[in-house]
Structure 1
């Protein structure tokens, strides 16, 4: 194999694929990136056996061939090469020589035949989303993904297309929950997704897709089966296994009869919560909201540091009462609200609280209160 590729092009593609590779691997080949030079391009592939990223870049292929080298080492080398340089990759026996200007590196290789590949065939459901819609779908739900490995079926975003009540227009719905908060986001059902299975997209896949979306505007092609999902984002093709298991019936925890309504500017509330929690320690992340006529008083008590409080204007006409929340969870939700007003539907100090921008909002959040 011998191929010459522009440094910036190679660096960008390596950045996409090497982030999939775990720093510690018990299987040596999984630390490597597969380099395949053919036709007019260089194909790069990396995998952790559950997630695979492939990207093809333009290159001058002098001799076709394929081999594998350490993904992180090659990325670090290319990152430190001068801007605008041409990078030459040539393979001889069990080494790849990387040359750019007067710099020359020789890297150990492992056989291409040993590199595992996730099959991409038989993905019967396919549809397209805009980059903006997919970014919203991820950003408005992923903060609520659970990190608790015992309930592995909560370690991702639940993607499904439920039947609409009363025969209305169906939606593509994304849901994530960790048992303390729940986030739900809906989009009009894209053409081709009508028969899609209910799937749980793993946290790592979600994170890698979101990174790719930072650099790309335009349509994203999505194909899936009950066990795999594939995203085509520009020149990158990301394939992931899905989480096996059943996502719980989240509709049971979405309150429908909370009769105490608080309306407030989400930015004012978020800034106030951020300020009063400056004195909070990691052990005391609770913030108390004392609701009274058209006013909310935020307060935090820390045994180590003291107390803090702040009054905020709001629209509230129900009986006065106090409720406590985990301040980090509340801020995570408020950061996703884009409008000038957020609706907080409350019942009592122990019941789930519903948060949304309005009745027609595509995003909905549920937050469990804390005892304060």
Structure 2
């Protein structure tokens, strides 16, 4: 595996995927990020069994296709100190090297066979303005429960209505209740009418 990419693009992708990595985990591979280079794009993925993140970078030059699993937070630290410009990443035996403009770093490769399968992404049901969605989540999350013995109350209920073109988010801890409704554009005529789902208010990011 070998690819060339701009430092800023690599750093942004690694930072995004690393958000879901656990701070401490009894399973070492869950601290890893999966890098897959093929078809003219680099994919960076991470998960912690509760949430997963996946991002594709289209402007990567793939020199040798392949995939590798490395410690995500260490790779993020390397990306922060790399010089600006193009960097080259490659698997060399049991090491993953990152080099650019005279700087060179190496990371040990984690066993791919021990890494759990990433969940498949659900079909796209529609679109919503990112800033409005983030603000709505922040508003209703304040009312979500923090008691793990009542897991149903630690989440945010998300309802989609393609007929009215609205998304409704709601949360409660039995003492407080918060609800926000915002515009939502369905991906198809049958996408999301009357559907609902729950997400953990304290969880990570899906991707």
TM category, shorter: 0.7 to 0.9
- Separation in 1, partners of 2:79, 2:140: 35
- Is contact 2:14–2:76 with CA below 8 Å preserved after alignment? yes
Secondary structure (helix, strand or coil) at the match of 1:149 reads coil
Q: 1:126 to 1:170 in 2, by over 3 A?
A: closer
- Is contact 2:165–2:185 with CA below 8 Å preserved after alignment? no
- Separation in 1, partners of 2:157, 2:95: 44
Alpha-carbon deviation of 1:156?
A: 1.5
Aligned to 1:111: 111
- Separation in 1, partners of 2:64, 2:74: 23
In structure 1, the gaps of 5 or more residues are 163-167, 209-237, 240-372
Q: Deviations over 1:231-289 (max 9, x none)?
A: xxxxxxx34xxxxxxxxxxxxxxxxxxxxxxxxxxxxxxxxxxxxxxxxxxxxxxxxxx
- Separation in 2, partners of 1:137, 1:64: 40
Aligned to 1:74: 75
- Is contact 2:126–2:184 with CA below 8 Å preserved after alignment? no
Alpha-carbon deviation of 1:180?
A: 3.2
Aligned to 1:25: 25
- Separation in 1, partners of 2:8, 2:160: 40
Secondary structure (helix, strand or coil) at the match of 1:30 reads helix
Equivalent in 195, 200, 203 of residue 201 of structure 2: 203
Q: Aligned pairs, how many?
A: 201
Bigger relative contact order, structure 1 or 2, given CA contacts below 8 A and separation 6+?
2
Q: 1:161 to 1:100 in 2, by over 3 A?
A: closer
- Separation in 2, partners of 1:41, 1:62: 11
Map 1:1-372 → 2, pairs under 5 A: 1-57=1-57, 58-82=59-83, 84-120=84-120, 123=122, 126-160=125-159, 171-187=166-182, 190-191=185-186, 192-196=191-195, 198-205=196-203, 208=205, 238-239=206-207
- Is contact 2:20–2:51 with CA below 8 Å preserved after alignment? yes
- Separation in 1, partners of 2:5, 2:160: 43
Secondary structure (helix, strand or coil) at the match of 2:142 reads helix
Q: 1:33 to 1:125 in 2, by over 3 A?
A: closer
Alpha-carbon deviation of 1:125?
A: 7.3
Q: CA RMSD in A?
A: 2.3
Larger Rg: 1
In structure 2, the gaps of 5 or more residues are none
- Is contact 1:34–1:44 with CA below 8 Å preserved after alignment? yes
- Is contact 2:154–2:202 with CA below 8 Å preserved after alignment? no
Q: 1:93 to 1:147 in 2, by over 3 A?
A: same
Q: 1:149 to 1:23 in 2, by over 3 A?
A: same
Alpha-carbon deviation of 1:23?
A: 1.6
